[in-house]
Structure 1
Amino acid sequence: MINQPDTAETKELIEQLVSIPSPSGFTEEVITFVEEYLKPFDVETKRNRKGGLIATIAGENSEEHRMLTAHVDTLGAMVKEVKSNGRLRLDLIGGYNYNSIEGEYCQIHTSSGETITGTILMHQTSVHVYKEAGKAERNQVNMEVRIDAKATNEKEVRAFGIEVGDFVSLDPRVELCENGFIKSRHLDDKASVAILLQLVKQIHEEKISLPYTTHFLISNNEEIGYGGNSNIPEETVEYLAVDMGAMGDGQSTDEFTVSICAKDASGPYHLGLRNSLVDLAKQHDIAYKLDIYPYYGSDASAAIKAGHDIIHGLIGPGIDSSHAFERTHEESLACTLQLLYHYVQSDMQRY
């Protein structure tokens, strides 16, 4: 009988993670946070040149390895233009729609290290001025950042140190509900990062001896397609991405189970590994759903496209309204952690 995961601690860890700004390309602070979190658990850590973090737990078998990955980089933006009206035009980082950030608070991170707050708005916001305000297209031309500084023109904005290429992060608006729901931006994929960190802690505290040397890659470029496609040891046989399960019309994924992906936009995941994960879930009475994510790619699919000879899989907690105002439930977090707990202790199948 395993110790039940402490979902309260997992949720608190998610709250800490989503509160650290980390759009793809701006992940140093959150990677350092993860690095410091892992220090008490006697795991070897190193950074790759892309800035991701790899933690390794030696196993009984050092000739065949496993790798699990989750990503800390998030959606965000970059300053595209300092406009003549003192507002900023954005260029998006990651795949999402402008309508999902209308009215959102944000932070502009200048190259000098200063942070200036702002709000993302339509240029034609005021209904008292713009008759067609509700009909204008939400796009790069019409949306802008109103900075919280006394600046009404380009020169005054630049005096605050804001320049083209500055990163812009989105306010997560995280809320831990008493009934177990977690509402926040960036649950993709910081919910799964928290789960992996909890797994490493549980392995350490229970003094579990893993059957295979296991690497935990905390990647930092997944949202732009290449977070987990390198630094995969040659001995790696199985590579499991831990990312969100996508919800919506026609999907079976929900917020109360672990989602096991059969196929995404990159194609099918390895059938043998998928069946092994399903068998583990059944064996240990873990609630799960099988699903297909039609417009989705993961670090595991990026690794396959990069040419790595691995068996790849994808699981994760169910996330509602992905790449927008996301939500999940502690039951989904617990199911995902339980499946991973049993997976890392299981024998590899000979597919």
Structure 2
Amino acid sequence: MTAYPNINETKELIKEIVSIPSPSGYTENVIQFVEKKLSELQIETKRNNKGGLIAILPGESDQKHRMLTAHVDTLGAMVKEVKSNGRLRIDLIGGFKYNAIEGEYCKIHTAAGKVLTGTILMHQTSVHVYKDAGDAKRNQDNMEVRIDAKVENAEDIRELGIEVGDFVSFDPRVQLTDNGFIKSRHLDDKASVGILLQLIKRLKEENKQLPYTTHFLISNNEEIGYGGNSNITPETVEYLAVDMGAMGDGQSTDEYTVSICAKDASGPYHYGLRQNLTELAKKNDIGYKLDIYPYYGSDASAAIRAGHDIVHGLIGPGIDSSHAYERTHETSLENTEKLLYQYVLSDMVG
């Protein structure tokens, strides 16, 4: 029998997923990838009207249901203006700062399906020309996309097929290091998507009977606030978002354990579910950290705001430098996968 978690397999899977461009609003290709992976496991799926993917594993009890979510949509941008200087002004998709993408390679996805490459730069990049190259604000007015094509004006750009509203994705620059780190853009939340796929694979291969019918939602609009706020059945009692744990000053989350969120910007998560998760971690020798994320929201908090009568929770691998060039370690992925496995086999709160 395969040893679980198969962490090298999980890392390679995450590498594949982060390499598929999928800013919020442009997620069809990555949803198709996940759909194919589940089909290979003979897991039936369906799409919701928003384009998210749902898989349901039957349980011993169909009176109470669980739902687990992770999201495949990422940060990105959209063409705001075709500029007269032959460059593009962009508008951001998701909550991040312009300085996080300065110098980043990108792709422009045209409405006709053409993909062009470019680089996101300050207009005042050259220190040999601009005195304020280091001090100018990193904002929409000063940052632009330099297209990898011979273009000198707006007409040249439009001849390439680029127009306002085209999506712009960022090069993930994914790397797996020899000592167990994975660094890439968009580990939020594609690391968790990979973990959920591995969890489903394990349950399928072990022929595990879950205690409760369990829904897996791969949402595609989380970064803009509403990915997981629908398609929650009346029987659903517990809703667990699997998303990144945020690291920084004052945080306990690290790159080596699973982070269990007690509270974020939406308020406290359900105390009983949080206690159940921590007890499962302790009982099964799973490394974990409790934390509060001050500027954060999840699919679970979106579901609560939408009025669903559910018990909600949030866990995930610890991710360094969130919404920039992110990094985590295989032990964090491993601990997250272990806790999820124990959770889906456990009794509900109360």
Paired residues, number: 350
Q: Which residue of 2 aligns with 1:216?
A: 216
* 2:85 aligned with 1:89: no
Q: Which residue of 2 aligns with 1:318?
A: 318
- 1: distance between equivalents of 2:227 and 2:53? 11
Contact 1:102/1:120, CA 8 A, preserved across alignment: yes
- 1: distance between equivalents of 2:139 and 2:88? 13
Contact 2:257/2:336, CA 8 A, preserved across alignment: yes
- 2: distance between equivalents of 1:43 and 1:347? 24
Distance apart, 1:44 and its partner CA: 2.4
- 2: distance between equivalents of 1:114 and 1:100? 26
Query: What secondary structure, in the 3-state scheme, does the structure 1 residue paired with 2:223 have?
Result: helix
Query: What secondary structure, in the 3-state scheme, does the structure 2 residue paired with 1:23 have?
Result: coil
Query: What secondary structure, in the 3-state scheme, does the structure 2 residue paired with 1:60 have?
Result: strand
Give 1:224's aligned amino acid: I
Q: Which residue of 1 aligns with 2:130?
A: 130
- 2: distance between equivalents of 1:4 and 1:303? 31
Give 1:41's aligned amino acid: L
Q: Which residue of 2 aligns with 1:255?
A: 255
- 1: distance between equivalents of 2:40 and 2:152? 50
Query: What secondary structure, in the 3-state scheme, does the structure 1 residue paired with 2:107 have?
Result: strand
Query: What secondary structure, in the 3-state scheme, does the structure 2 residue paired with 1:262 have?
Result: strand
- 1: distance between equivalents of 2:261 and 2:97? 24
* 2:59 aligned with 1:50: no
The one-character-per-residue Cα deviations of 1:313-336 (angstroms, maximum 9, x if unpaired) are 000000000000100000000000
Q: Which runs of 5+ in 1 are unaligned?
A: none
Query: What secondary structure, in the 3-state scheme, does the structure 2 residue paired with 1:211 have?
Result: strand
Q: Which residue of 2 aligns with 1:229?
A: 229
Q: Which residue of 2 aligns with 1:275?
A: 275
Residues 144-293 of structure 1: pairs in structure 2 closer than 5 A: 144-293=144-293
Distance apart, 1:4 and its partner CA: 2.7
The one-character-per-residue Cα deviations of 1:155-186 (angstroms, maximum 9, x if unpaired) are 00000000000000000000000100000000
- 1: distance between equivalents of 2:132 and 2:66? 56
The one-character-per-residue Cα deviations of 1:252-294 (angstroms, maximum 9, x if unpaired) are 0000000000000000000000000000000000000000000
Over 3 Å off, 4+ runs: none
The one-character-per-residue Cα deviations of 1:6-30 (angstroms, maximum 9, x if unpaired) are 0100000010000000000000000
Give 1:149's aligned amino acid: A
CA RMSD of the aligned region, Å? Answer: 1.0
- 2: distance between equivalents of 1:132 and 1:115? 33
- 2: distance between equivalents of 1:221 and 1:327? 22
* 2:348 aligned with 1:348: yes
- 1: distance between equivalents of 2:244 and 2:133? 35
Q: Which residue of 1 aligns with 2:28?
A: 28
* 2:102 aligned with 1:102: yes
Contact 1:68/1:215, CA 8 A, preserved across alignment: yes
Contact 2:22/2:74, CA 8 A, preserved across alignment: yes
TM-score by length of 2: 0.99
Q: Which runs of 5+ in 2 are unaligned?
A: none
- 2: distance between equivalents of 1:62 and 1:260? 27
Give 1:40's aligned amino acid: E
Distance apart, 1:3 and its partner CA: 4.0
TM-score by length of 1: 0.99
Q: Which residue of 1 aligns with 2:73?
A: 73
Query: What secondary structure, in the 3-state scheme, does the structure 1 residue paired with 2:313 have?
Result: strand
